[in-house]
Structure 1
């Protein structure tokens, strides 16, 4: 029951947040000049199971966040259902969000698809946080979901 309530609250908050002012949304996301995922194609994580650089020529702005795509087909998939493809926690490291509610940079090549959602992780200087996430995924995800609400509410 607790998990259902948490999921319900996250769903409601996410919907309200997506409808809120784009500039407020942009402030919380991991962006470089409004560009998400360092220019990687968010759809390719799902369709190709790998991180694929997008093209500046194939882009889309969604609620103030710019995404690059590796193909027109991927762009169309994103347009049809952006909530499916946007990275969780605004594109910040999922492990850091779960372990201590911090916004930590990511390596776009270090990711995981979990329950149909994209999670990104920090991976540098001999510290791959995806490995730590996998050791306690269930608890870290619950904490990360709760912690992200602090940023978007």
Structure 2
């Protein structure tokens, strides 16, 4: 029953435009314009608790990677990103980690994140986070196996539910 509910949820959800394989929503930025480096500086909470909100980036501090524009809160974070973009970019090109584990491609919410084994993972809704956190290692294993076979055409084109983001602005 849980699988059917999850499958129905994932089939009905998702995001907007894509630039290369990296998920880009209507803000025009990867990760909805949130600073992917800043996650490394946030205090991660135990499984089962809500993570702190992500840090919005600025539209005047950006870098390109994987066919998309990433925004950063500071020049220092941009420079850190440029030293190793693959380290900082979210797994599965910013798509929901649990969605990939289930064989789909839906957008990740920048406020529903977790770093596991030095890799940034996003999920789409707090309900999905609950499913993903039931067995993170098994879900990562499923995602790793599924990801190579998920085509760009398999991606959903709806907005991230229960999330609103303004495009990053310059200060």
The TM-score, its normalising length taken from structure 1, stands at 0.74
Matches of 1:27 and 1:62, distance apart in 2: 10
Structure 2 residue ranges without an equivalent (≥5): 1-17, 44-51, 153-171
- 2:150 alignment partner, SS class: helix
Q: Compare relative contact order (CA 8 Å, sep 6+) and give the higher one, 1 or 2.
A: 2
2:33 equivalent in structure 1 = 39
The corresponding residue for 1:20 is none
Q: Which has the higher helix share?
A: 1
**Does the CA-based 8 Å contact 1:35-1:66 persist in structure 2?**
yes
Count of aligned pairs:
125
Q: Which residue of 2 aligns with 1:119?
A: 121
Determine the C-alpha separation between the residues in 1 that align with 2:67 and 2:79: 18
Relative to its length, the structure with more strand (as a share) is: 1
Work out the CA distance in 2 between the residues paired with 1:105 and 1:146: 19
Give the counterpart of 1:105 among 104, 107, 131: 107
Contact 1:28 1:151 (C-alpha < 8 Å) held by counterparts:
no
| Paired residues of 1:92 and 1:105 also in contact (CA < 8 A) | yes
Q: Could you say what the CA RMSD is over the residues aligned between the two structures, in angstroms?
A: 2.0
Pairing partner for 1:26 from 19, 28, 42: 19
Structure 2 residue corresponding to 1:88, chosen from 84, 88, 91: 91
Q: What is the deviation of 1:128? A: 2.4
Unmatched tracts of structure 1, length 5 or more: 1-24
Q: Deviations over 1:117-139 (max 9, x none)?
A: 1000111xxx5211111102121
CA shift digits 1:84-138 (9 cap, x unpaired): 101000100001110x211112221010000001000111xxx521111110212
Residue 66, structure 1, aligned to residue 69, structure 2:
yes
Paired residue for 1:146? 145
Matches of 1:71 and 1:93, distance apart in 2? 26
The answer as to 2:69 corresponding to 1:52 is no
Indicate conservation of the 8 Å contact 2:20/2:67, yes or no: no
Query: Secondary structure, in 3 states, of the residue corresponding to 1:75?
Result: helix
Check conservation: 2:35, 2:57, Cα contact below 8 A.
yes
